[in-house]
Amino acid sequence: MIALPALLLLCSVGPDTVAGGTTTETTNGVTATVLFPDSTPAADVTVRLRPSNYIAIPSFAGLTKRAAAITDITTDFRGRFFIDSVEPGSYTIEVTDNKSVAARIICEVVPGGDTLDLGAHALAPFARLTGSVALDSNTGAMHAAVYGLERSVAVDSLTGAWSIDDLPQGAHTVRIASSSRDLGAAIIDAPPVAAGASDTLNAVRLLSYSGESYTQWAYSRTITINTSPTGADISEDVHRFPLLVRLDASDFGFSGARADGRDVRFAKADGTPLRYEIEQWDPVAQHAAVWVLMDTVYGNNASQSITMHWGKADAQDFSNGAVVFDTANGFAAVYHFQSAAPLHDATYNANHFRSDLTRAASGAVGDARYFDGADSMAAPDDPTLEPSSPTVSCWFKTDGNQDTVAKIINKGHTSPPYMSYTLELRYDPSIVGFQTAKTDSQYHTLESAQTITDRSWTYICGLFNETTGIGRFFVNGMLNGEFSDPVPIEYYNAGNYPLYAGCQRGASNTFYKGWLDEVRVENRPRSEAWVRLCYESQRHHSRLLAFKK
């Protein structure tokens, strides 16, 4: 198991006050004492820990990153609480009696020290925020939610009004989003509201993505896409492709953009807007990962380009994973493993992983998950995860000794070797493979021609085309082998078989030990050019993209 450094929690409470604390002997946790307004211990009140970018909008999964790493506990008889195993990141801790009083503690968990006792904090009467949204025929269903809190209310479909009546005092950020794919999300940084007080925010209008004019943006940069032999060396055109754009201090001025990247935009050379999803945006470390949906990436072309725009203070947020990874374009499940939302499926299918005991880590693209050789995660059984012609892919990086056959991604029968489909690592002699089951007595396994080096990121992809009966396996974008079999994949529909990452349910000695990133299940067999472009787009030090000065 990898040893993580101890963590230091730097916290504040309310709009301005810094919460003092003393070092405890326990690491990776946070503790505090909570009092009622009359200074008596606040026993048995609710404590909620949420990442700072958490949004409680389960029905709009594609419109924002919804956090899954959350904690709900209660205080003890002394008004004390303790939350352990807190990963690095920004968090909001809310304490409330769910009746009339609440308090908020904002925490930044960073590597480098022991945890802190946050001291004593007093609950105060609820604050209230109200507002309104201008309605039109394209608005759709809308919600108003508060970042970092378990607060989401429907916007009235007749009047456009909304109200959140049970907030802790302080300055809150409100996100108003619509079910319409074409509309942006309005993000309102509300001024501090006092305990027991009410404030009404200015009315907003949700804007149309197609109606924006990028002449109003302060900055722009041209990005060339080179698929010629001097670049990614891909000869065929690839359509409706999510292109990864990495940003760092060498090619992008983070100081000119909003802190959450909400004002970044992308357009074709002729100005046509391109949809996008922000997977990672870190202005402090100065790196970001953004997926841009290209209608066509031209093969054997060194002159294609797109333009990135940024620098508009009042821009709305159009980051939308469900549009970029559209189910109509073949995506059944896409897992980026963002640190604030490690289990989230970016598609509208919402095939979220459950029962996660893995840890956040740096990934091949953005963030990843680390499996210690004894843990796994599972997404509930769903027909969308059982395509007749699947393409399954991921990035992985091994960490030392594995079980004999470590299952990286798998779905199907609990009895080996009859996996409906699986990506796996055979640790002796350290090769990877793709397997499909046709019946309980027939299956196919394709294995890599080369061994895999520990602690090195590797991209693998397996697919089966039911129409042609051809199965293929790729390692780092290159075809490693194929089989031919007209028998369809067996999905064992009489049972309940989730999608697993990190092991095979019911089978011993199948645990994976290492890192995992960018897991995808797609419902169509992708072309060799598509797989190659995925690898070239996502790998570090690729020659696919170049930023013009």
Bridging pattern class, strands 186-189 and 116-122 = unpaired
21 against 138, higher pLDDT: 138
The reported pLDDT for the residue numbered 4 is: 28
Tens digit of pLDDT for each residue in 406-437? 999 999 987 766 789 999 998 878 999 999 99
Q: What is the DSSP letter of 298?
A: -
61 against 120, higher pLDDT: 120
Helix or strand holding residue 94 (H, E): strand 89-96
Tens digit of pLDDT for each residue in 489-498? 999 888 899 9
60 pLDDT more than 50 = no
The reported pLDDT for the residue numbered 417 is: 66
Helix or strand holding residue 322 (H, E): helix 321-324
Tens digit of pLDDT for each residue in 338-392? 765 558 899 999 999 976 678 888 999 998 999 999 989 999 999 999 999 999 9
The reported pLDDT for the residue numbered 493 is: 85
Bridging pattern class, strands 273-274 and 265-268 = antiparallel
d(CA 548, CA 457): 28
- Spatial neighbors of 401 by CB under 8 A, at least 6 apart, are 373, 427, 513
d(CA 89, CA 107): 8
20 pLDDT more than 60 = no
CATH 3.30.70.2390 matches 7-124: no
CATH 2.60.120.260 matches 127-209: no
Give me the percent of the chain exceeding a pLDDT of 90. 71
Contact status, residue 110 vs residue 10, Cβ threshold 8 Å: yes
Right CATH for 331-523 from 3.40.309.10, 2.70.150.10, 1.10.1060.10, 2.60.120.200? 2.60.120.200
The reported pLDDT for the residue numbered 218 is: 96
Q: What is the DSSP letter of 343?
A: T
CA distances from 155 to 54, 112, 125, 150, 179 (A): 19, 43, 24, 16, 12
The reported pLDDT for the residue numbered 112 is: 57
Confidence tier at 146 by pLDDT (50, 70, 90)? very high
The token pair at 407 is: 């299952």
State the chain's mean pLDDT as an integer: 89
3-state secondary structure at position 255: helix
8 pLDDT more than 70 = no
The reported pLDDT for the residue numbered 509 is: 83
Q: What is the mean pLDDT of residues 271-281?
A: 95
- For 300: left if phi > 0, alpha if psi spans -120 to 50, otherwise beta; the answer is left
Tens digit of pLDDT for each residue in 183-230? 999 999 999 999 999 999 999 999 998 889 999 999 999 999 999 999
CA distances from 53 to 169, 238, 341, 514 (A): 18, 34, 9, 27
Neighbours of 381 (CB within 10 A): 17
Contact status, residue 100 vs residue 195, Cβ threshold 8 Å: no
3-state secondary structure at position 433: strand
> Hey, do 127-209 and 331-523 end up sharing a CATH topology, with the first three levels equal?
no
Give the closest residue to 204 by CA, choosing from 57, 55, 313, 316: 316
d(CA 339, CA 91): 12
The token pair at 209 is: 């993505």
- Spatial neighbors of 414 by CB under 8 A, at least 6 apart, are 495, 497, 504, 505, 506, 507
Beta bridge pairs of residue 51: 91
Give me the percent of the chain exceeding a pLDDT of 70. 90
Give the closest residue to 344 by CA, choosing from 545, 32, 55, 27: 55
The reported pLDDT for the residue numbered 17 is: 36
Least confident segment among 75-89, 121-135, 190-204, 455-469:
75-89
CATH 2.90.10 matches 214-320+542-547: no
3-state secondary structure at position 329: helix
Give the closest residue to 505 by CA, choosing from 385, 387, 420: 420
Tens digit of pLDDT for each residue in 85-123? 777 778 899 999 999 999 999 987 766 556 667 889 999
Contact status, residue 142 vs residue 133, Cβ threshold 8 Å: yes
521 pLDDT more than 80 = yes
pTM listed for this prediction: 0.88
The reported pLDDT for the residue numbered 416 is: 64
Residue type, 94: E
Beta bridge pairs of residue 369: 360, 516
Confidence tier at 136 by pLDDT (50, 70, 90)? confident
Domain residue extents for the chain: 7-124, 127-209, 214-320+542-547, 331-523
Q: What is the DSSP letter of 320?
A: -
Q: How many helices (H) and strands (E) does the chain have?
A: 2, 40
Q: Is 334 exposed, middle or buried (0-12, 13-18, 19+ CB in 10 A)?
A: buried
Q: What are 185-191's contacts with CB under 8 Å, separation 24+? A: 185/63, 185/64, 185/316, 185/317, 185/318, 186/133, 186/316, 186/317, 187/260, 187/262, 187/316, 187/317, 188/131, 190/129
The reported pLDDT for the residue numbered 77 is: 97
Neighbours of 284 (CB within 10 A): 7
d(CA 547, CA 291): 16
- DSSP states of 376-431: -EEE---GGG--SS-EEEEEEEE-S---TEEEEEEEE-SSTT-EEEEEEEETTTTE
Q: Is 22 exposed, middle or buried (0-12, 13-18, 19+ CB in 10 A)?
A: exposed
The token pair at 460 is: 């693998």
76 pLDDT more than 90 = yes
Contact status, residue 266 vs residue 273, Cβ threshold 8 Å: yes
Neighbours of 408 (CB within 10 A): 25
Q: What is the DSSP letter of 409?
A: E
Phi then psi dihedrals of residue 384, to 5 deg = -70, -15
d(CA 468, CA 471): 9
Q: What is the mean pLDDT of residues 152-172?
A: 96
Least confident segment among 61-70, 327-336, 396-405:
61-70
